[in-house]
C-alpha cells in the first residue's frame, strides 16, 4: 500500500518532469495506447486509372522538368500501431486534387480539360521500412467545389489488407468548419487527429511547407463508423447492435 502510493506520487512527479513528451513519444511506455487515426470516407475520386509514375514525389512526373503548380509541401510522418510501435512494410497512398481543383479521375477531369494541371501526379505511394516513416513531396491542398476544407486523401495497406482510409486537413483553415465531409467527424478530439499544421519552411526560396502527420492504426469497426449519429433518444431501434449500426457489413461512404 505504502509502496504503491509512493510509486504513484513519484510517477506523477516523473510525468510532470516529462511534460508532453510522455504523451507524444510513442513506444516509451508500452502500456500507453495512442489514439487511433479516425476513418474518413474515400470520396468519389480515388484514381480510376493509376498514373504510370506512382512514386512519393507528386510534384514531378517521371523525369519531367516542369513541376506541378502549387505550394510545395513536404509531408512526412510515421505509421504506428496503437502501442506506438512503427509499422514496417505498410504502404501509404495519398491522392488529392491539383492546384486548379482537378482530381486524377475521369469523372472529374473529363469536364475540366482546360484547367487540369498535367504536371501534377495526383497520386503517390510509399512503403515504410522498419522506422515506419513515410515521406511525400506534394502540394499544399486547396479547396474543392463543395469541399471547403482542403484535404489530402490517405489509404494505408499492408499486403492485400486495407487498414485505414482517411483524409488529412490543414489545421486552422477557415473552411474546415463548413466542410460537410469533415463534419462527419463530430468529436472535436477526433477532428484534431485529422488535422496538422502546414508550416512554412524558414528561408525556403520556393516558399515550401512542412507538414508532419503520424498515423495510428487500430481503430475498431465501430470507431470507423462515422456515418450514423449516436443512438436516437429512447433507444437504438430494432435490429441494431451496440454500436448503433444495423447488422451486416460496414456502410460504404460515397
Ligand X SMILES: O=C(O)c1ccc(O)c(O)c1
Least distance (Å) from ligand X to the CB of residue 27?
32
Least distance (Å) from ligand X to the CB of residue 166?
11
Q: Within 122-161, which residues bind ligand X (CB under 6 A)?
A: 144, 146-147
Stretch that binds ligand X, among 26-34, 39-47, 68-76, 194-202 (CB under 6 A): 39-47
181 contacts ligand X (rule: CB under 6 A)? yes
Smallest CA-to-CA distance from 136 within 158, 117, 116, 120 is with 120
Least distance (Å) from ligand X to the CB of residue 173?
15
Residue nearest to ligand X (CB): 43
Smallest CA-to-CA distance from 152 within 178, 170, 131 is with 170
Number of other residues whose CB lies within 10 A of the CB of residue 119: 18
Buried b (16+ CB within 10 A) or exposed e, 226-235: beeeeeeeee
Least distance (Å) from ligand X to the CB of residue 253?
9
Least distance (Å) from ligand X to the CB of residue 167?
7
Q: Which is nearer to ligand X, 126 or 144 (CB)?
A: 144
# binding residues, ligand X (CB under 6 A): 8
Q: What is the DSSP letter of 93?
A: E
Q: Which is nearer to ligand X, 72 or 154 (CB)?
A: 154
Q: Write the CB contacts of 107 (distance below 8 Å, at least 6 apart in sequence).
A: 44, 45, 48
| Main-chain dihedrals φ then ψ at residue 222, nearest 5 degrees | -65, -40
Q: Within 103-122, which residues bind ligand X (CB under 6 A)?
A: none
Contact 55, 134 (CB under 8 A): no
Q: What is the DSSP letter of 108?
A: H
Q: Which residues bind ligand X (CB under 6 A)?
A: 41, 43-45, 144, 146-147, 181
Amino acid at each position: 500500500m505504502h509502496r504503491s502510493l509512493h510509486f504513484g506520487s513519484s510517477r506523477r512527479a516523473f510525468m510532470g518532469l516529462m511534460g508532453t513528451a510522455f504523451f507524444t513519444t510513442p513506444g516509451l511506455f508500452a502500456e500507453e495506447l495512442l489514439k487511433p487515426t479516425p476513418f474518413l470516407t474515400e470520396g468519389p475520386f480515388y484514381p480510376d486509372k493509376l498514373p504510370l509514375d506512382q512514386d512519393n514525389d507528386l510534384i514531378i512526373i517521371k523525369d519531367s522538368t516542369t513541376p506541378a503548380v502549387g505550394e510545395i509541401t513536404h509531408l512526412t510522418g510515421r505509421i504506428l500501431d496503437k502501442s506506438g510501435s512503427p509499422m514496417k512494410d505498410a504502404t501509404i497512398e495519398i491522392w488529392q486534387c491539383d492546384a486548379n481543383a482537378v482530381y486524377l479521375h475521369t469523372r472529374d477531369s473529363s469536364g475540366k480539360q482546360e484547367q487540369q494541371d498535367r504536371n501534377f501526379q495526383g497520386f503517390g505511394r510509399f512503403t515504410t521500412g522498419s522506422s515506419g516513416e513515410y515521406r511525400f513531396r506534394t502540394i499544399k491542398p486547396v479547396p474543392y467545389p463543395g469541399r471547403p476544407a482542403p484535404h489530402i486523401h490517405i489509404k494505408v495497406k499492408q499486403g492485400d489488407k486495407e487498414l485505414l482510409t482517411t483524409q488529412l486537413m490543414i489545421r486552422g483553415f477557415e473552411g474546415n468548419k463548413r466542410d460537410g465531409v469533415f463534419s462527419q467527424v463530430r468529436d472535436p478530439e477526433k477532428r484534431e487527429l485529422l488535422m496538422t499544421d502546414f508550416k512554412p519552411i524558414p528561408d525556403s526560396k520556393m516558399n515550401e511547407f512542412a507538414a508532419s502527420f503520424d498515423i495510428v492504426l487500430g481503430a475498431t469497426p465501430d470507431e470507423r463508423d462515422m456515418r450514423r449519429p449516436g443512438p436516437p433518444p429512447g433507444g437504438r431501434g430494432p435490429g441494431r447492435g451496440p454500436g448503433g449500426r444495423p447488422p451486416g457489413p460496414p456502410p460504404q461512404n460515397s
